[in-house]
Amino acid sequence: MKKYKTAIVVGSLRKESLNRKMAQAFIKLSAENLEAEIVEIGNLPLYNEDLEENVPEAWTAFRNAMITFDAVLFVTPEYNRSVPGALKNALDVGSRPYGKSVWDRKPGAVISVSPGAIGGFGANHHLRQSLVFLNVPVLQQPEAYIGKADKLFDSNGNIKNDSTTEFLNKFIAAFTNWIANNQS
C-alpha cells in the first residue's frame, strides 16, 4: 500500500498547544499508512496582494512545500466560533496567486481540538466552508471534534484515553481511503 505524504497544518501557534499534541499523536498513530509531518504557518506574513510583487521568502517556502504533499490534515482550535487568524492566513497565502492554489483538489480532513465540551465544532465547520471554495475534497465521516482535550494527554503528550486512540485509528483509516479515492 502506498504511504501518502500528508501535510498537517496546526491552527494554534503555541508550542505546547493541545492541537500540536493532537497532530503529533496523529503522526505516531498514522505512521503505517501516512507519511505525515507538520508544516509550520507561524512565520507567514499576513497576506497582502501588494507583496506578490516581491514575494516574501516564507510564502514561497510554504507554497513550495505544500505542493509536494498528497493530502492535508487541518488540526485547529476554535477562536470565537471560527479558526485562528494564522490558519486563515495560511489558507490565503496558499491560494494565491490566483490560479495557482496549492490547495486545489488536494484531499483534506479536519480535526478540531478544544478543552471545551463541543470540541471546536464551530471552527471545524467554518474551516470546511473555506475548503469548499478552495476545491479541497474534505473527508465527511467520521467527523472529528475532540473535546475536553485538556485532560486527554499525559505529561509526554501521549493520549491517555483508549477510546480516543481507537477513534483516531478509525479516522486515520477513513482518511487514508479518502486520499486514495481522491487523488487528482
The string of pLDDT tens digits covering residues 61-72 is: 999 999 999 999
In angstroms, the CA 41 to CA 77 distance is 14
* Mean pLDDT taken over the chain: 96
Residue 62 to residues 25, 113, 126, 129: CA-CA distances in angstroms?
23, 24, 23, 22
pLDDT tens string 20-39:
999 999 999 999 999 999 99
* Nearest Cα to Cα of residue 145 among 131, 158, 164: 164
Angle CA 148–82–43, to nearest 5: 95
pLDDT value, residue 117: 87
CATH classification for the domain delimited by 4-181, as one of 3.40.50.360, 3.40.190.10, 3.50.50.60, 3.30.750.24: 3.40.50.360
* Nearest Cα to Cα of residue 135 among 104, 100, 110, 108: 104
Three-class secondary structure of residue 12 per DSSP: coil
